[in-house]
Structure 1
Amino acid sequence: MNDFTFLSPTRLVVGRDAEKETGKWIKEYGGTTVLVHHDSGFVKQNGFVDKVIDMLKADGLKVVELGGVVPNPHLSKVYEGIELCKKEGVDFLLAIGGGSVIDSTKAIAMGLPYEGDVWDFFIEEDGVPHDVPTKSTPLGVILTIAATGSEASNSCVITKADENLKRFCDNDINRARFAIENPELTMTLPPFQTACGIIDIMSHSFERYFTPEKENDILTDYLCEAIFHTCMDCGRILMKDPENYEARASIMVASTLSHNGLTGMGRTGDWASHFIEHELSGEYQSVTHGAGLAVITPAWMKYVYKDNMDKFIKWATRVMGVSMDYGDPERTVLEAIDRLELFFLSLGVPTKLRDVPGVEDLDEEVMERMAKRVRVVHEDGSIGWVRRLNTEDIVEIFKLAM
């Protein structure tokens, strides 16, 4: 186990009607004028946003509303939110939605007290960000989709749409003060959104489970495996019974625990699949992050598994239920990857790029453009820790994903 520091200050409030206490929690953290941020979608159309606003006003809070967040949230909306908050004297932000809304809210929260351009926190030169946030406006979350784990993570991902750039800022200053999780709010999600959320949750722990060969922490392996089993068991249940409260609750909490740092304690996360997918959904902004991960993650596995065979065999046998083939260990791993793809397909999510709507024009030239744009990690310009991947490797992974 590597040395580590673990921080997860976000208060989780889980249960039926948990959103009714939102005003209490906002006031506990000093909020008086609240930005309610959302995507103008179903939660607005079905009256839920207005219901929350009415409750906040009844609790004596001033409310400012801003909708319009899109998947792969845009920097332009962040700028709009910063200006609105400055104008209205906002001192607390409330995200109602999933990862895109939460990340947009986080970026506004960072940009509000900052004198420069909030994009400075997301762009780098030679691996060094232009600036690092030191202050952020307090924020809370009412979660309506279990997926990104952004409700308790330190990460914020924003897209500069005019340049097809999708970049992140990881900083503990991003963590929400509270996350309200009422599983009933996720029961009306379309099956595809539920499925993409489950894949995203699994991926956050895949990135922490598959580590450099020398790292082998027993406790954290079991924590990751618990997330995998939960997602697969509950995913199968929810495809048949979308209103199953226990499965919805388990998936919601799994989302939070998979990305609040718990499953990465004492180890080096790989994150190559996420970095590669960020370029895919940056180039093709209609691609849902979880759908992108469904094609990139198995392709990455096929490309790197030999670099940590022991860990891939452990996952194959303990999670995917493959019987160990001592005469051909590689067959064991490849069978597990096949089973993972079959699980994704059973959720209704494609596992090949050629089947993903909106990326039909993907050719090698586009692959190379995306590969060259990936945010590098190492001084040699590569990404990943299981295996260091250069531009040519990333192109090969895109080809495997076709």
Structure 2
Amino acid sequence: MENFTFFNPTRIEFGADKEQLIGQHLARHGVRKVLLCYGSERIKRDGLFAVVTQRLAEQGIAFVELGGIVSNPLLSTVREGIALARAQQVDAILSVGGGSVLDSVKAIAAGVAHAGDVWELFTGQARIESALPVFAILTLAATGSEMNCSAVVTNDETQEKFFITAPAIFPRLSIVNPRLMRSVSREYLVYSAADVIAHSIEAYFTATVHPRLQSRLVEAVINTIIETTETLLANPADDDARGEFAWAATLALNGLTFSGCAGFGYPNHAIEHSLSALFNVPHGAGLSVVMPAWMKWYQDRNPAQFERFARQVFGLASAGEGIAALEAWFDKIGTPTRLAQLGIRESDLPTIADNVRLSVERFGIAEQYPPDVVTDILRRAL
């Protein structure tokens, strides 16, 4: 096991009605005015917006709205949020939504504190030194953004999808109430399942050092996602299953599963970021296409771990059987496994491979994933 530092300052409030306490939490942090960010108008239709704003008012906290944040969040919206936060002189930013809203909020929080353009933080031209405090109420479990210090945004001018990472953008508090996720569609439930599994397998398969304890943690997360996804597809009102799904999604990317590991990368995410940047496909749907293709290409580089995966997750013997079982499970739950299902043709591969060059550079894996390798991987998903 490698030496490591585990640091995670995010407070999680998990369970029913926890959103009722949002005003009190913000008040404890000295917040008097907040930028309230959300995605669709669903939070107004289902009453969540009214609950949140009422709880803010009870604590004398003013708010400014920024709605309409889309899946695969856009840099243009982040810039709009930065301008609004500065003009209104807010003390903090509150995300009410899923990972896309929260990623936008983190970028806004960092951008407000940065003298230059926020995209400089994504390209590595500048570092995040400070940020406005971030708070979150989660309505979709998938990205794990509620308990980590990373965010991903698409530059809608250049079609580049890059990430930022810095301790300053850890949420101070994230509220995870599974009941707020009851209205998540079937499609986004299964896309979320693929997203969580992708977060889990990156280090699991690519790390040069991966302790058995960490492997067991990853396998527990994946098995939980598989079990609870099937339960929720059969009974969307099962709050116990939804709660386990949500907590597994958080654990998959809060730093716990890869502590003590070394030498790992994020090739599936690096490749998929180009799919969603170029074709605006849902991130989880893109990952469920990329993952089996990448696994078929990569399996001979770490055969023992792929055999372990087959055995511990699906009760099978060989690496190939395990990969086929995961792909079959994606097909069973209805998340895509072929590029054609995303509207992507073989003739699009050169454009994707060229776009991925920028992504793998940001992930630090450019040498392992030149355009010809990326094309080879994606051909396995045709």
Which residue type is aligned with residue 334 of structure 2? Answer: G
- Cα 1:278/1:222, change in 2 over 3 Å: same
Structure-1 separation of matches of 2:223 and 2:291: 17
Calculate the TM-score normalised by the size of structure 1.
0.91
1:195/1:349 contact within 8 Å kept? yes
Aligned residues: 381
Deviation at 1:377, TM superposition (A): 5.9
361, 378, 381: which is aligned to 1:398?
378
Which residue type is aligned with residue 338 of structure 1? Answer: A
Partner of 2:209: 215
Structure 1 portions without partners, runs of 5+: 124-128, 325-331, 383-387
Q: Does 1:271 align with 2:266?
A: yes
Structure-1 separation of matches of 2:360 and 2:353: 14
- Cα 1:235/1:362, change in 2 over 3 Å: farther
Which residue type is aligned with residue 68 of structure 1? Answer: G
Which residue type is aligned with residue 290 of structure 1? Answer: G
Partner of 2:305: 311
Q: Does 1:348 align with 2:328?
A: no
Partner of 1:372: 357
What CA deviation, in whole Å up to 9, does each residue of 1:324-353 have, x standing for no partner? 3xxxxxxx1111111101111222111111
What CA deviation, in whole Å up to 9, does each residue of 1:71-93 have, x standing for no partner? 11111111111111111110011
1:159/1:165 contact within 8 Å kept? yes
Equivalent runs, 1:171-190 vs 2, <5 Å: 171-190=166-185
Q: Does 1:65 align with 2:60?
A: no
Structure-2 separation of matches of 1:378 and 1:19: 35
Q: Is the helix fraction higher in 1 or 2?
A: 2
Structure-2 separation of matches of 1:280 and 1:135: 31
Which residue type is aligned with residue 321 of structure 1? Answer: G
What CA deviation, in whole Å up to 9, does each residue of 1:121-168 have, x standing for no partner? 101xxxxx1011100100110000000001111111011112111000
SS at structure 1 position matched to 2:302? helix
Structure-1 separation of matches of 2:112 and 2:69: 17
Equivalent runs, 1:213-292 vs 2, <5 Å: 214-268=208-262, 269-285=264-280, 287-292=281-286
SS at structure 1 position matched to 2:40? coil
Equivalent runs, 1:158-169 vs 2, <5 Å: 158-169=153-164
Which residue type is aligned with residue 65 of structure 2? Answer: E
Structure-2 separation of matches of 1:134 and 1:363: 39
Partner of 1:108: 108
Deviation at 1:44, TM superposition (A): 2.9
Which residue type is aligned with residue 392 of structure 1? Answer: D
Which residue type is aligned with residue 332 of structure 2? Answer: S
2:267/2:360 contact within 8 Å kept? no
Comparing 164-173 and 366-375, the one that deviates more: 366-375
Calculate the TM-score normalised by the size of structure 2.
0.96
Deviation at 1:252, TM superposition (A): 0.8
125, 133, 148: which is aligned to 1:138?
133
Partner of 1:36: 36
Deviation at 1:380, TM superposition (A): 8.3
Which residue type is aligned with residue 368 of structure 1? Answer: A
Structure-2 separation of matches of 1:368 and 1:134: 33
- Cα 1:177/1:339, change in 2 over 3 Å: same
Which residue type is aligned with residue 47 of structure 2? Answer: G
346, 359, 380: which is aligned to 2:344?
359
SS at structure 1 position matched to 2:361? coil
- Cα 1:334/1:379, change in 2 over 3 Å: closer
Which residue type is aligned with residue 312 of structure 1? Answer: F
SS at structure 2 position matched to 1:264? coil
Q: What is the RMSD of the two structures over their aligned residues, measured on CA atoms?
A: 1.5
Deviation at 1:392, TM superposition (A): 0.9
SS at structure 1 position matched to 2:140? coil
Partner of 2:148: 153
Deviation at 1:12, TM superposition (A): 0.7
Partner of 1:204: 199
Deviation at 1:243, TM superposition (A): 1.0
Which residue type is aligned with residue 251 of structure 2? Answer: L
- Cα 1:390/1:49, change in 2 over 3 Å: same
- Cα 1:380/1:118, change in 2 over 3 Å: closer
Comparing 2-11 and 373-382, the one that deviates more: 373-382
Structure-1 separation of matches of 2:75 and 2:359: 18
Structure-2 separation of matches of 1:233 and 1:40: 29
Structure-2 separation of matches of 1:104 and 1:372: 24
2:128/2:168 contact within 8 Å kept? yes
Deviation at 1:52, TM superposition (A): 1.1
2:144/2:250 contact within 8 Å kept? yes
- Cα 1:297/1:161, change in 2 over 3 Å: same
SS at structure 2 position matched to 1:210? helix
Deviation at 1:363, TM superposition (A): 2.8
Equivalent runs, 1:4-83 vs 2, <5 Å: 4-83=4-83
1:371/1:395 contact within 8 Å kept? no
Comparing 201-210 and 300-309, the one that deviates more: 201-210
Which residue type is aligned with residue 381 of structure 1? Answer: A
